[in-house]
């Protein structure tokens, strides 16, 4: 007896067999019918669908024998799956050295004749077993019987493939079902969060259409929530708020960052402060979370008023101290010993710093109280940029930074010239402060949005991470607290910039990323331009 060698692609074949999910499964009528037909047509007592496993052959369907399986070493089918001709026929096993002393030949079931058609599946046509017909007397199949065996084997393979596709569909359905359940759970969690949150909420599409809303208890901003769905925010919010809303919506979707908007509304005749936090909730929609911040604002205003009063009270004596120190330093009251002179100089520079802070605080206070008088007239961008660069030249030289005034062929803006220079000075002094020695700071102008001109200050400093972009314009916000120690500064400069620019009806912004420098910009309405909302 010769034991059949493994198939040349044995592992892949075994994998295909496992993938068919047939081994050790209960009988199935379709396969039973096939072996019954094979037995009738070929006129043989035994017919099998035999699957050749690693060490055994297992019968998926059988007629004429009782056993479910046998060892692979004695299996005729183990030879048949190696046959490339499409069918292995053995007319008399006693004359074939592979089978002459096979126990199935020398004993039950006394095999003489064997005809097996390999069952090949998959793109690689790997034989996982056979459909075989067995007789106890020597013989051959007629051409019709041979043809019928091939046809029956094709039926078996087709049925296996249909079963596999059906299993794949069921698995896919299960997966879709699981994904749908997970999504429902996630949506339910989200809804629970929205409901539990006392804030109001508006979900708005990129084009400004209201997609969903949740009304806060006081109904501020949404007095008529029933009629908001599907309408443009301009049709449901007060005009000024709608304009700011659309602006923030655009910025949020463009940057992907969170943007906030603070407004004051009258609710039942009382002023109420609201904070709207915009966050993108999809590629073409954003959520605006509306929170009542009236109490916080009251506290902040009281604190600001207190700081302003203190600052105001401090300004006169500190100015007088600076004057006196200056007189001492310049020898107006007689020469001072060198050591004393040095101390006077240190005191005078620190007093000047203190005075700058006091002035910043008072400026901000005036701005937030709307008491800053702006004298608006057409201002040449090129001129203000040159003046600002000139006034900061000393600081730039000391820091080893070059300030370059670039292209600024823009239309005049309608602004208070002194205030624009103050804004540019604040941005320039930051840019210089944060630039490495030898670097360049650029001043430029370009067309802005809605008929405005954009003035830009670009540095090659450390840059600012996106999560700080909105907050750097808040009072006292410093990206790194050590900045104030190492570079000086109070965290008020950018808050002043923002207030002055907004007082002009303009907007401020920042393009920056860590390691890529910062471009701070502000836009002012062009003189004579019809400023769109
Ligand atoms: P400060 O007086 O601290 O400079 P600002 O309001 O002008 O206050 O700036 C706030 C913070 O923003 C700074 O402390 C710094 O962390 C960051 N910042 C401002 N300008 C720049 C810049 N050009 N490069 C990097 N960081 C900057």
Given the CA of residue 495, which atom of ligand 1 is nearest to it?
Answer: 6
Query: Which class in CATH covers the domain with range 377-525?
Result: alpha beta
Assign 481 a pLDDT band (cuts: 50, 70, 90).
low
The tokens for 250 are 């655009």
Name beta bridge partners: 126: 121
Identify the pLDDT of residue 451.
80
Mean of pLDDT values over 272-289: 91
Identify the pLDDT of residue 312.
81
Rounded-to-integer distance, Cα 4 and Cα 53, Å: 13
**Residue of 266, 270, 287 whose CA lies nearest to 278:** 287
Q: Tell me if the bond preceding 416 is cis, omega within 30° of 0.
A: no
pLDDT digits (tens, 9 = 90+) for 153-189: 999 999 988 888 888 899 899 999 999 999 999 888 8
- Concatenating the DSSP letter of every residue in 336-398 gives --HHHHHHHHHHHHHHHHHHHHHHHHHHHHHHHTT-PPP--EEE-HHHHHHHHHHHTHHHHHH
Domain coordinates in residue numbering, the chain: 10-196, 200-292, 296-368, 377-525
For 517: left if phi > 0, alpha if psi spans -120 to 50, otherwise beta; the answer is: left
The tokens for 493 are 């400069």
For residue 496, give Cα distances in angstroms to 11, 217, 357.
74, 34, 12
Q: Is the pLDDT of residue 266 over 70?
A: yes
Say how many Å lie between the CA of residue 81 and the centre of ligand 1.
78
- Are 422 and 388 spatial neighbours (Cβ–Cβ below 8 Å)? no
Instruction: Provide the mean pLDDT of the chain.
Output: 89
Q: Hey, which of 431, 479, 497 would you mutate to test ligand 1's pocket, going by the most ligand atoms within 8 Å of its Cβ?
A: 479
Topology match between the domains 10-196 and 200-292: yes
List CB contacts of 115: < 8 A, sequence separation 6 or more: 42, 87, 88, 89, 90, 132, 133, 134, 141, 146, 149
Q: Is the pLDDT of residue 331 over 80?
A: yes
Q: What angle do CA 319, 320, 326 make, to 5 degrees?
A: 90
Identify the pLDDT of residue 270.
81
Cα Rg of the chain (Å, integer): 44
- Are 515 and 379 spatial neighbours (Cβ–Cβ below 8 Å)? no
Assign 531 a pLDDT band (cuts: 50, 70, 90).
very low
Q: Is the pLDDT of residue 416 over 50?
A: yes
CATH architecture of 200-292: 2-Layer Sandwich (3.30)
pLDDT digits (tens, 9 = 90+) for 51-71: 999 999 999 999 999 999 999
Q: What is 296-368's CATH number, 1.25.40, 1.10.287, 1.10.3470, 1.10.1740?
A: 1.10.287
Assign 533 a pLDDT band (cuts: 50, 70, 90).
very low
Rounded-to-integer distance, Cα 15 and Cα 7, Å: 13
Say how many Å lie between the CA of residue 142 and the centre of ligand 1.
95
Identify the DSSP state of 25. P
Q: Hey, which of 467, 491, 497, 511 would you mutate to test ligand 1's pocket, going by the most ligand atoms within 8 Å of its Cβ?
A: 491
pLDDT digits (tens, 9 = 90+) for 368-400: 777 777 889 999 999 999 999 998 998 899 999
Nearest CA to ligand 1 atom 8: 491
pLDDT digits (tens, 9 = 90+) for 499-511: 999 989 899 999 9
Task: Look at the block and give the residue holding tokens 């109904």.
Answer: 219
Mean of pLDDT values over 285-302: 89
Burial of 497 (0-12, 13-18, 19+ CB in 10 A): buried
Query: Which class in CATH covers the domain with range 10-196?
Result: alpha beta
Identify the pLDDT of residue 176.
93
- Are 408 and 381 spatial neighbours (Cβ–Cβ below 8 Å)? yes
List CB contacts of 490: < 8 A, sequence separation 6 or more: 357, 360, 476, 484
493 touches ligand 1 (CB under 6 Å): yes
Say how many Å lie between the CA of residue 108 and the centre of ligand 1.
95
Say how many Å lie between the CA of residue 491 and the centre of ligand 1.
7
Q: Is the pLDDT of residue 294 over 60?
A: yes
Q: What angle do CA 376, 377, 381 make, to 5 degrees?
A: 110
Say how many Å lie between the CA of residue 463 and the centre of ligand 1.
10
Mean of pLDDT values over 412-430: 93
Phi and psi of 363, rounded to 5°? -60, -45
Assign 530 a pLDDT band (cuts: 50, 70, 90).
very low
Q: Is the pLDDT of residue 129 over 90?
A: yes
Mean of pLDDT values over 406-412: 80
């Amino acid at each position: 007896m010769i034991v059949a060698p493994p198939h040349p692609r044995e592992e892949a074949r075994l994998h295909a067999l496992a993938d068919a999910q047939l081994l050790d499964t209960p009988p199935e009528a379709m396969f039973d019918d096939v072996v019954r037909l094979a037995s009738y047509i070929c006129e043989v007592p035994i017919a099998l669908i035999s699957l050749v496993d690693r060490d055994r052959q297992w019968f998926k369907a059988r007629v004429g024998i009782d056993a479910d399986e046998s060892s692979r070493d004695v299996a005729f089918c183990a030879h048949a799956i190696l046959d490339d001709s499409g069918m292995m026929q053995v007319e008399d096993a006693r004359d074939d050295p592979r089978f002459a002393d096979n126990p199935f030949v020398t004993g039950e079931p006394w095999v003489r004749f064997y005809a097996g058609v390999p069952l090949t599946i998959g793109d690689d046509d790997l034989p996982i077993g056979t459909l075989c017909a067995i007789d106890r007397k020597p013989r051959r199949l007629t051409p019709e019987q041979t043809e019928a065996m091939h046809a029956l084997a094709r039926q078996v393979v087709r049925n296996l493939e249909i079963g596999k596709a059906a299993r794949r569909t069921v698995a896919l359905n299960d997966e879709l079902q699981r994904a749908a359940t997970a999504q429902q759970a996630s949506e339910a969690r989200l809804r629970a969060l929205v409901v539990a949150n006392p804030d109001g909420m508006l979900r708005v599409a990129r084009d400004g259409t209201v997609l969903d809303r949740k009304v806060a208890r006081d109904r501020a901003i949404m007095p008529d929530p029933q009629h908001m769905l599907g309408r443009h925010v301009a049709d449901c919010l007060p005009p000024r708020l709608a304009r700011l809303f659309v602006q923030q919506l655009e910025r949020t979707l463009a940057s992907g960052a969170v943007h906030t908007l603070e407004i004051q509304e009258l609710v039942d005749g009382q002023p109420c402060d609201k904070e709207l936090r915009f966050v993108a909730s999809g590629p073409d929609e954003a959520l605006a979370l509306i929170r009542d911040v009236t109490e916080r604002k009251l506290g902040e205003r009281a604190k600001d008023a207190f700081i302003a009063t203190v600052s105001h009270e401090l300004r006169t004596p500190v100015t007088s101290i600076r004057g006196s120190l200056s007189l001492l330093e310049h020898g107006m009251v007689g020469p001072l010993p060198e050591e004393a002179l040095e101390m006077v100089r240190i005191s005078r520079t620190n007093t000047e710093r203190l005075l700058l802070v006091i002035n910043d605080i008072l400026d901000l206070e005036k701005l937030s109280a709307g008491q800053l008088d702006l004298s608006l007239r057409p201002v040449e961008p090129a001129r203000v940029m040159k003046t600002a660069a000139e006034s900061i030249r000393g600081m730039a030289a000391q820091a080893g930074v070059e300030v370059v005034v670039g292209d600024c062929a823009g239309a005049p803006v309608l602004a208070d010239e002194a205030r624009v220079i103050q804004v540019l000075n604040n941005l320039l002094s930051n840019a210089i402060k944060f630039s490495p020695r030898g670097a360049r700071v650029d001043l430029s102008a370009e067309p802005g949005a809605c008929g405005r001109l954009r003035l830009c200050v670009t540095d090659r400093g450390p840059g600012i991470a996106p999560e700080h972009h909105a907050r750097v314009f808040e009072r006292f916000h410093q990206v790194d607290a050590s900045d104030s120690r190492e570079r000086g500064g109070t965290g008020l400069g950018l808050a002043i910039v923002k207030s002055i620019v907004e007082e002009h009806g303009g907007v401020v912004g920042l393009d920056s990323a860590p390691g890529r420098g910062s471009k701070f910009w502000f836009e002012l309405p062009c003189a004579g331009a019809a400023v769109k909302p």
